Amino acid sequence: MKKHNYSAGPCILPQEVFDQSAQAILNFNDSGLSILEISHRSKDFVAVMEEARALAIELLGLEGKGYQALFLSGGASLEFLMVPYNLMKENGKAAYLDSGTWATNAIKEAQFFGETVIVASSKEANYTYIPKDYEIPADADYFHCTSNNTIFGTQMKSFPKTNVPMVCDMSSDIFSRVIDFSQFDIIYAGAQKNMGPAGTTLVVIKESIIGKSGRTIPSMLDYAKQVKAESMYNTPPVFPIYASLLTLKWIKEKGGIAALEKLNNAKAALLYNEIDSNPLFKGAAREEDRSTMNVTFLLTNPEHTETFDQMWKEANISGIAGHRSVGGYRASIYNAMPIESVQVLVDVMKALASKI
């Protein structure tokens, strides 16, 4: 029986994507070859790359606005390095919002390149909220934020107004809600949390920001060279890009980001309502900053842990254990998670309350 997969990433993907990917592994486009063995320079795969890049731009509403989409390797963690390499000038300055573990890791990489200003942090509260009312230095080369914090279950509900170029790590909530994506100069996201399998990273970059750092950048880390090569500077991760394309096509078929946002809000409301109304549970993140992608919650009495764990496992639920930084539980309800699966978890929580 198919499990209800709440894993934070690699995560659940649409069943259609699994089915189509499986067929492509056996015989891609009736070529007699597997997607795993075709040349990345073949006509068939070049078409995949071109469609994936174009569709990402289309879904984000950035057509005709001077943006390029890249599918790169190294995960979002490599972008922690590439962003300052490409945007921070010699003797320059970057501004960062510290809202969680991955933001902290991005800050560490930026500090190798120059002055890195932390404009605000919620570390003292174990990242249970998103910092607000901070000032971004006007002379910063860029401002970096993380839209959704997978580990702690918090999400930025709005973004600052600034004349400084803005960079956003959207690894765990990209394509999940309608945003004015044109306010960002760079958006990046590891595919494995809401877009595809592990192995590729989507980078959406405004062309006008490229090549202004004054630095000599190694070729593989140079956005200008990657854009010029159309994501084919070296052999790209063929299969993860193909599966990501299938997921992007699924998003479009479902009605685009707006349609998925409506469903995501309904799933989150269903689960948070149970957390707030059931006396055996409590939310881990502050209510105003709760993520619609990663729902973190705790038992009010840890003595019920063994019983609850047994119940959700018997209900065929997987991947719900919380990160060690928070404890408790984390239900990742990405785009492909059906609301029926969320109802299964809610029913288990209700059953626990009846049992205790």
Count of domains observed in the chain? 2
The whole-number pLDDT of residue 1 equals 65
Q: Please identify every stretch of the chain with a pLDDT value under 70, giving residue numbers as ranges.
A: 1
Is 169 an active-site residue? yes
Q: Are residue 285 and residue 177 in the same domain, yes or no?
A: no
3-state secondary structure 147-167: CEECCCCEECCCCCCCCCCEE
Residue 4 lies in a domain: no
User: What CATH number is attached to the domain comprising 29?
Assistant: 3.40.640.10
Please tell me whether residues 83 and 181 are part of one structural domain: yes
8 domain-assigned:
no
- Residue 236 sits in the same domain as residue 264: no
Of 253, 270, 302, which residue is a domain's last? 253
C-beta of residue 136 within 8 angstroms of C-beta of residue 95:
yes
pTM: 0.97
Instruction: Name the residue range of residue 191's domain.
Output: 15-253
What CATH number has the domain bearing residue 295? 3.90.1150.10
Residue 21 falls inside a structural domain: yes
Catalytic residue among 98, 141, 169, 173: 169
Q: Of residues 193, 206, 249, 267, which has the active-site annotation?
A: 193
Residues 36 and 175 in one domain: yes
Residue 5 covered by a domain: no
Q: Which of 98, 102, 250, 312 is catalytic?
A: 102
Same structural domain, 338 and 198: no
Answer yes or no: do 71 and 188 share one domain.
Answer: yes
**Six-digit token pair at 110?**
């930026």
Claim to verify: residue 243 and residue 271 sit in the same structural domain: no
Q: Select from 233, 253, 273 the last residue of a domain.
A: 253
Q: Which of 218, 253, 288 is the last residue of a domain?
A: 253
For residues 181 and 227, membership in a common domain is answered with: yes
Q: Are residues 307 and 346 in the same domain?
A: yes
* CA dihedral (343, 349, 352, 353) positive or negative: negative
The reply to whether 106 falls in a domain is: yes
User: For this structure, is 312 an active site residue?
Assistant: no
Instruction: Report if residue 166 sits inside a domain.
Output: yes
How do residues 228-248 score in pLDDT, each as one tens digit?
999 999 999 999 999 999 999
Q: Which residue has the tokens 């198919």?
A: 2
| Co-location of 267 and 241 in the same domain | no
Same-domain pairing of 65 and 52? yes
Q: Are residues 51 and 152 in the same domain?
A: yes
